[in-house]
Chain A
Amino acid sequence: MSWEVVIGLETHARLSTVSKMFSGAATAFGAAPNTQASAVDIALPGVLPVANRGAVERAIRFGLAVGGRIHDRSIFARKNYFYPDLPKGYQISQYEQPIVTGGTIRIGDGESEKQVRLTRAHLEEDAGKSLHEDFHGMSGIDLNRAGTPLLEIVTEPDLRSADEAVAYAKALHALVRWIGICDGNMQEGSFRCDANVSLRRPGEPLGTRCEIKNLNSFRFLERAIQYEIARQREILEDGGRIVQETRLYDPDRDQTRSMRSKEDAQDYRYFPDPDLLPLAVSASWIAEVAHDLPELPEARRARFVEQYGLTAYDAGVLIAAREISDYFDALARRLPQQAKLAANWIMGEVSARLNRDGLEFDRIPLSAERLAELLARVADGTLSGKMAREVFDAMWNGEGSAEQIIESRGLRQISDSHALEQLVAEVVAANPAQVAEYRSGREKAFNFLVGQCMKASRGKANPAQLSEILKEALAS
């Protein structure tokens, strides 16, 4: 009998504000320890938190982008626990009344499409950082990160495999970057996932779950869930029971291990923070934010299919990141009749080159305008596919515009009709058998003759013009 895997994800996205959630300290990554920790962040007695409008605005943006409900009132609560990198002894979070509830994220494409339901998204502050390297047997505390605004995004238990969990995480990652609320830098911890994993027999109630904490790469997310599924299946099939617990993924050993069990589960004793009044979000504020929202991935995907005639699959690939889709859009606007060519070039040559050079799309050395000039020369027959790749290489290496490279390398196709006529005459004279075949009605021989002419021109003959001249020569 098979098992059904049930996964829910909680993701912490660090919001891209310049200052902290409740203080005016900077949030820039990589500053010297404790130089961006204000009196509020280090919890000196008597200080009071003042909430950041920019962080709230980003939460609204997210709520709009996922089609969730943005509440006109939400409440900040204290989540109490003791740890040295949490100077107040509590984290300010939202508990009973979060700013956003509901909404969905679409994963997959075409037939395997699925809407993942979101439970909620709430605002909270990050903790500081503990460094356990040896400081004479002590731990070092850096509070620069303390108080940085986070949006915690929680799904319903809608995911059914490690693949789906990764697809969701990638879609969410692309979305938060798309709408500009989080830089998505996973190495710096700007986007971290916790996964709740359980197994059950299909149709039965949910099984006991384990939570795997702090997965900061898509690969770790996938591996940790796969390991956890195998671990739980083995226990259940041996007739054992799953113990509800929090586990940590160890990438070096590729396994999860217990961090704390339910008995040791933290009792956070949430209560409304008396220092913070209810957060009010007016309808006019929401409307203002909605007005400034960029075209969203789903809308853009539909438009690419509609406007440029792309397949749903191609459109799906192109909206994987806003930079890619912006680039395609700029390219396709210049070449509206050649959108498929543009899409193929982006998914083919351009992606391969970026990969090879280890570059992200936002660092592409070739503007859409420049690439459009090259593709226009492909479309009008100036360049063959092979020539185009050579020009592309040279453009990528900064050797100039498509026109300049075509000129300097003599790559222009032969479009001089006199030269082509001469070339055709020679080929016709040299291949009497194929010419006779064509004249007796065998169309196939024509392609052979075109091939011979191309070869004679070393690939430079303009195919359309060549075809016309050859037809004329054969008719006479």
Chain B
Amino acid sequence: MLLSVEDVQRIATLARIAVPERDIDRIAGELQAIFGLIEQMQAVDTRGVEPMAHAQDVVLRLRPDAVSESDRREQFQAVAASVEAGLYLVPKVIE
């Protein structure tokens, strides 16, 4: 698979990374190299092998349903950029 300029722009948009026009070719090349590695892995015959979701063959540990955390809003919000009435304030976004 060969990455187009549009592919790179789309990936950048999804990742919320600003990529200047002049860097696109260079980044496309770097991503292409990563794709090369993926292609190499995909060339391995994995028929009949069940995919693993995790590198270790162990299962999830569960915790009992109980409240163990208390209110630490004041500490957490001490490092927030902007706070009002207990809310974190962020630049306005409306979908």
Contact = CB atoms under 8 A, between A and B. Distances in A.
Interface stretch (B30-38, B39-47, B56-64): B56-64
A24 B68 CA distance: 5
Interface string B42-55: 00000000000110
A56 B62 CA distance: 9
B71 A35 contact: yes
Interface string B61-95: 11111111101110011000010111111111111
B93 A130 contact: yes
Secondary structure call for the B interface: loop
A140 interface: yes
A75 B92 contact: no
B14 A269 contact: yes
B16 A280 contact: no
Interface residues of B, number: 36
B87 A141 contact: yes
Contact-residue bracket for chain A: 35 or more
A301 to B, nearest CB: 31
Given A23-B69, A42-B76, A138-B82, A276 B89 contact: no
Contact of B16 (A25, A82, A97): A82
B30 to A, nearest CB: 19
Contacts of B91: 138-139
A64 B85 CA distance: 44
Interface in A38-88: 38-39, 42, 44, 50-56, 73, 75-76, 80, 82-84
A276 B62 CA distance: 10
B54 A278 contact: yes
A34 B90 CA distance: 14
B59 A53 contact: no
Contact of B68 (A19, A34, A136, A138): A19
A322 B93 CA distance: 42
B86 A135 contact: no
Contact of B65 (A18, A139, A274, A280): A18
Nearest to A53: B62
B58 to A, nearest CB: 6
A33 B65 contact: no
A135 B14 contact: no
Contact of B64 (A42, A54, A137, A274): A54
Interface in A303-321: none
B3 to A, nearest CB: 15
A309 to B, nearest CB: 42
A38 B64 contact: no
Contacts of A37: 73, 76
Interface of B: 10, 14, 16, 53-54, 56, 58-69, 71-73, 76-77, 82, 84-95
Interface of A: 17-19, 23-26, 32-39, 42, 44, 50-56, 73, 75-76, 80, 82-84, 97, 130-132, 135-143, 259-260, 267, 269, 272, 274, 276-280
14 contacts: A17-B65, A24-B68, A33-B85, A33-B86, A34-B73, A44-B76, A52-B62, A82-B16, A84-B90, A84-B93, A140-B88, A267-B14, A277-B60, A278-B53
